[in-house]
Amino acid sequence: MIDFKYKVIDLLKEQIEFLDEDEIKLLLEVPPSYDMGDYAFPTFRLAKEFKKSPSIIAEELAGALSGNDYFEKIESSASYVNFFIDKQKLMETVLDEIKIKKDKYGSSDLGEGKTVIVEFSSPNIAKPFHIGHIRTTVIGNSLKKIYKFSGYNTIAINHLGDYGTQFGMLISAFKKWGHREVIESNPIQELLKLYVRFNSETEEDPALKDEARYWFKELENKNAEALELWQWMRDISLKEFNRVYDLLNIEFDSFAGESFYSDKMPRVIKELEEKGLLIESNGAQIVDLEAYGMPPALIRKSDGSTLYTTRDIAAAIYRKEHYDFYKNIYVVASQQNLHFKSWMKVVELMGYDWAIDCIHVPFGMVSLEDGTLSTRKGRVVFLEDVLNKAIESTRKIIDERNPNLENKEEIAEQVGIGAVIFQELFNQRIKDYVFNWDRTLSFEGETGPYVQYTHARATSLLEKGDFDINDKVQYSLLNNEEEINICRLLYNFPRIIYDSCDKNEPYFITRHIVEIAKEFNKYYNSTSIIVEDEELKKARLSLVYATKTVIKTGLELLGIKAPSRM
């Protein structure tokens, strides 16, 4: 496909010898309106060298560059040179490229030979898989897909919270009040009751905390009873979690959680000691990070038990040695910013230059309208309930609007779950938000169902018009404003994917396919597509096919299905 941006750069390089390609690329802008061109080059930087005013330089450059095959016109405006892409060349290069690449349009070999690890979701065993987990789960899944689409060997890791003092609490609570058959009938809810009760009773009896620490230490010491109860809780919890992952159509390459690294931590502690980084503090062992503006990193408690920091360092070392990653990405809430900054600094101090390739991708927090989520107090909204309610709401809408729709159950699931995912990925990930049922399940406006419906509408048009991808097309017939605007958006799709990958931001794709859907629906409502003129029909259906293809690819990169009928 023609890269018009580089055509601009090549033209400017011929006229401005003292600027290299990278400098020109950095200066080049995309105007806020197509009336001002597709690209704009400011000339302020050239004034000193040319000893002329920027506006005169712009005028002279525009004159010297005019008459190019790739651009309809090149003109000056104040101190800018504005480049207007030849619309027919744009149409031809975009639509032909999409016909050739189909659902691979926008993919690249950017990551060829490089491995990227994406750690996401990572719920705590024996605790609710609640609405607060949805952000890490769907952001991480989308990033996994975006990196894979960009040519990287991508490893999805679910770093389960299956270790730590919480298991001391649960083992102690189970031994006091638990019944195996009751828990197995409703695992997460019953384990949550035990966890909430234990935390409540420690307020009256602080000695329970010592009991919890004792049982966690016994777990670390491979006590048979503690190990058996831990394994049982892990297995029944994972079975529950997998129901949600199946609904979301999410797969992982590894479920190696915190417990996986329990036998790898002595090596970390020994290495920290040998490198003179570990010091004693009130019976505990720490790495002093005061020089870097951070509190000390606690490596081992005074009772000998380990912490998240120790396990994350051990995990990072294992992953580098096992996968030789190019990037090791952690999709974890912004509340953990200091934790990640801290242990990554420790890895750097250990002399591992790859510490810089460990990347924390933070996101904002989810809260309820009446306050924050709290597992300890039992204030949670189960994620599975949210997804099932979304499916049920969609099923009711289908029954009202299209009761004879085939595969209603499957489509209700695709649209309902798509609505939840799309809302999560519609804004920048760093923003906090308050969970609201009505907003989550709304299908109006800039939503997943709106984009999915646009895809279904385009599919229907292609079927009605007997579209044949092998037909020869007269692209000159596509020349109205809506057609050109759709094509511009399709042309920009590969750049949007690049930006999403570069900045770890799926919302670029979400917003872009909404804009494509809006522009296409405007076109659909203003233009007859299946017309008697056979050549015009072929041309317009080619644009419909390209739109449908890009919307479907965009949805899939977000982890959302694209139904052919709705």
- Could you list the active site residues? 127, 130, 133
- Kindly state the helix (H) or strand (E) to which residue 39 belongs, with its residue range: strand 39-42
The domain that contains 479 carries what CATH number?
1.10.730.10
- Kindly state the helix (H) or strand (E) to which residue 286 belongs, with its residue range: strand 284-287
Whether residue 105 is contained in a domain is answered as no
**Last residue in a domain, options 62, 85, 108:** 85
Whether residue 399 is contained in a domain is answered as no
pTM of the model: 0.92
Return d(Cα 451, Cα 360) in angstroms, integer.
30
Q: Which two tokens stand for residue 262?
A: 């329990």
Whether residue 411 is contained in a domain is answered as yes
Strand partners, 278: 287
Asked if residue 416 lies in contact with residue 390, where contact means CB atoms within 8 angstroms, the answer is yes
Return d(Cα 369, Cα 366) in angstroms, integer.
10
Residues in the chain: 566
Q: What is the pLDDT of residue 132?
A: 83
Counting as low any pLDDT under 50, the low residues of the chain are none
Return d(Cα 461, Cα 453) in angstroms, integer.
12
Whether residue 317 is contained in a domain is answered as no
Phi and psi for 556 in degrees, rounded to 5? -65, -35
Whether residue 447 is contained in a domain is answered as yes
**Residue where the block lists tokens 């036998």:** 263
Overall domain count for the chain: 2
Return d(Cα 120, Cα 245) in angstroms, integer.
12
**Residue where the block lists tokens 């230059």:** 353
Q: What is the pLDDT of residue 164?
A: 78
**Last residue in a domain, options 67, 85, 103:** 85
Residue 259's nearest CA partner among 315, 215, 218 is: 315
Q: Which domain holds residue 410?
A: 405-558
Whether residue 277 is contained in a domain is answered as no
Whether residue 359 is contained in a domain is answered as no
Asked if residue 170 lies in contact with residue 218, where contact means CB atoms within 8 angstroms, the answer is no
Return d(Cα 530, Cα 534) in angstroms, integer.
9
Phi and psi for 287 in degrees, rounded to 5? -115, 120
Return d(Cα 255, Cα 158) in angstroms, integer.
5
First-residue to last-residue Cα distance in the chain: 33
The domain that contains 39 carries what CATH number?
3.30.1360.70
**Last residue in a domain, options 31, 57, 85:** 85
For helices 408-424 and 534-558, give the axis angle rounded to 10 degrees: 70
Strand partners, 81: 41, 76
Q: What average pLDDT does the chain have?
A: 92
Whether residue 127 is contained in a domain is answered as no
